Amino acid sequence: MIPSFKKKLELNIQLKVLKKKKENIQLKESLRLSEGMLQTLVKTIPDLVWLKDNDGVFLACNTMFERFFGATEAEIEGKTDYDFVGKDLADFFRENDRKAMAAGKPTMNEEWITFADGHKALLETIKTPMFDKEGKLIGVLGIGHDITKRKKTEETLRENEEKFRALFEQAGDFAFILEYDHSKGFIIRDSNKSAVTIHGFPREEIIGKAITDIDVGTDKAIIDEMAKQLFSGETLHFETIHCRKDGSTFPVEVTAKAVQIAGKSTIILTTEHDITQRKMAEEILIREKEAAESADRLKSAFLATMSHELRTPLNSIIGFSGILLQEKPGSLNDEQKKQLKMIQSSGSHLLSLINDILDLSKIEAGQVFPKMESLNLQEILDEIIKLEEPLAKEKGDTIDLLSKESVFIFSDRQRIRQIIINLVDNAIKFTSQGSIVIKCSKEDKFAKIEITDTGIGIKAEDVIKLFKPFIQVESYLARKHQGSGLGLSICKKLIELLGGSISVKSEFGKGSTFTVMLPLIMNSL
């Protein structure tokens, strides 16, 4: 009895296997998949493709699926997931198959799998129920696409967007994200909390507005031009006026840049800063500057008037003392001559100081106008040397003009003479038993005049004080060498008035060189 039952059981199993194989053959025929089509599928599709029956038995697969299991199609056919992967994963695959068959339509899932070679991948699987001609469910077609890289990219983009959002929201300044519309200009697509707060609009109300609704300092034409510059890669910096919801306005400083977001269109990112306080400070400084300039003009006008008034009596004192010294009214004894000479000398010195103040006042008041003419600097320098030689000899100095080249210049004769005489006088004043050398040459489009002395020189820290009015670099110099401290300041202002510049090189105790650069041709003012 027992052997007979066992024989029958084995026969039933064999019949079932034969029946299953017959059904599989019929299923393949019903799908009308020719060998050529299967071969093309294997060769051309980079995704995993497989076909299972209702019981989860593999009927066919492609090359990528063979790689996944590390087996050939012949080894895979007739087996299930349980023959290749662990129970948990096989249960997961089987459950997704059942869901697809129950839904009667394609279903999509994401599944982490480990290939036979050990590497892991995230698959996006689409499982589609298969039906025969009669509409009977006969199996599931599966397609798996590796989305590992895509997911990593998406995760990176998500993290970057989160970082951007955090920076965007937490920025101390207010910021907007704009999109350009050819008909409306820049449209606000997002704003941070600071922008919402300072403008007084709720976020949902400010989004969708044209930027010109809140930026009253620009118009559509300006924005169109800005768009061209931004999309060409430029970063724009400008100032404009914004309007709050309550109608009040405030000045802002804007930085705008076009930013390409992966997978999205180009946006315009603006960071903006309220510069109300800065503008108020600038206005205060402007008012203070205007007040100072006004006061300076009043001072200059006062000094000019007073200097003019003082010159008249001084000229009389100098003139009449000269007449007395000539003894035209009568003879003088030696003491009287001595006293008159002191009066005349003091008067001349005081007149010189007043003339300096008057010159400076006129320059600062804008009342000095150059008289332009063609000049030969060589001739002017020769005249000045003849004029200054007696004074130099009194100090035991020699004075020479080394340049013999004629340098022609179109400028103001009187002012050039005044500048050079002042510099030569200074050189003689601070040089004893030494030499003063003058050189003149052309350098590009300028005439270069150098006055070099072997005098006391200037300390490095005192050079910056030289051209300031009413300043002498050393207190003992002020006592030893009388002067107003205006000479170099007047020289500098006159040189600049003529379109030139002045510089100095000096070594304390060894001498100085003053260099004047004047344009060969100066436009008439």
The string of pLDDT tens digits covering residues 463-503 is 888 887 655 555 444 445 455 567 788 889 889 989 999 99
Check: CB of residue 471 under 8 Å from CB of residue 458. no
**Would the pLDDT of 178 be above 70?**
yes
> In angstroms, rounded to a whole number, what is the distance separating the alpha carbons of residues 326 and 158?
103
User: Residue 525: pLDDT band by 50, 70, 90 thresholds?
Assistant: very low
**Six-digit token pair at 106?**
């394609």
- State yes or no: pLDDT of 126 exceeds 60: yes
CA distance 415 to 491: 9
> pLDDT band at 344, cuts 50/70/90?
confident
Of the listed ranges 52-56, 212-216, 327-331, the least confidently predicted one is: 327-331
Look-up: residue for tokens 């510099």?
423
pLDDT at 427 over 90: yes
Report the alpha-carbon distance of residue 296 to residue 304 in Å, rounded: 12
Rounded-to-integer distance, Cα 456 and Cα 54, Å: 113
Question: At which residue do the structure tokens 């300039």 appear?
Answer: 293
Dihedrals φ, ψ of 344, to 5°? -65, -40
Residue 423 has a pLDDT of 93
362 vs 354: CA distance, rounded Å: 12
- CA pair distance 259, 519, nearest whole angstrom: 49
- What residues contact residue 235 under an 8 Å CB cut-off, 6+ apart? 255, 256, 257
Pairing of strands 435-443, 236-243: unpaired
Give me the DSSP letters along 170-194.
H-SSEEEEEEEETTTEEEEEEE-HH
Which amino acid is present at 434?
A: G
d(CA 325, CA 337): 6
SS3 for 365-409 is CCCCCCCEEEEEHHHHHHHHHHHHHHHHHHCCCEEEECCCCCCEE
Q: Which two tokens stand for residue 503?
A: 């510089």
Lowest mean pLDDT among 68-82, 114-128, 226-240: 114-128
What is the average per-residue pLDDT within 257-280?
Answer: 80
pLDDT tier for residue 374 given thresholds of 50, 70 and 90: very high
* Range among 17-31, 115-129, 237-251, 277-291 with highest mean pLDDT value: 237-251
**How far, in Å, are 106, 155, 260, 261 from residue 158 at the CA level?**
28, 5, 15, 12
On the question of pLDDT at 137 being above 80, the answer is yes
- Tell me, what's the pLDDT at 304? 63
Give me the sign of the Cα torsion angle 150, 156, 160, 163: positive
Q: Among 113-122, 244-253, 264-273, 349-358, whose mean pLDDT is lowest?
A: 349-358
Instruction: Give the three-class secondary structure for 321.
Output: helix
Taking residues 238-261, report their average pLDDT.
Answer: 89
287 pLDDT tier (thresholds 50, 70, 90): confident
8 A C-beta contact, residue 378 and residue 405:
yes
- At 164 the pLDDT is 67
Which of 390, 383, 398 shows the shortest CA–CA distance to 436?
A: 398
Q: Which residues on adjacent β-strands are paired with residue 502?
A: 516
d(C-alpha 51, C-alpha 451), whole Å: 103
Per-residue pLDDT, averaged over 230-240, amounts to 91
**Per-residue pLDDT at 21:** 67
**Lookup result for tokens 């298969």:** 130
* Residue-wise pLDDT tens digits, 23-57: 666 666 555 545 555 566 555 678 888 899 999 99
Q: Is 221 a residue whose pLDDT tops 80?
A: yes
Taken as a whole, the chain contains a residue count of 525
Instruction: Tell me the C-alpha distance between 137 and 265, whole Å.
Output: 46
Distance of CA 455 to the CA centre of its chain: 49
Strands (E), 64-119: 107-114
What average pLDDT does range 252-269 have in this prediction? Answer: 79
The band of 1, judged by pLDDT with boundaries at 50, 70 and 90, is: very low
Averaged over 230-256, what is the pLDDT? 91
pLDDT value, residue 524: 47
Calpha distance 42→33 (Å, rounded): 13
Q: Of 21-35, 79-93, 406-420, 455-469, which range is least confident?
A: 21-35
Of 479, 472, 376, 391, nearest to 427 by C-alpha is: 391
Does the pLDDT at position 422 exceed 50? yes
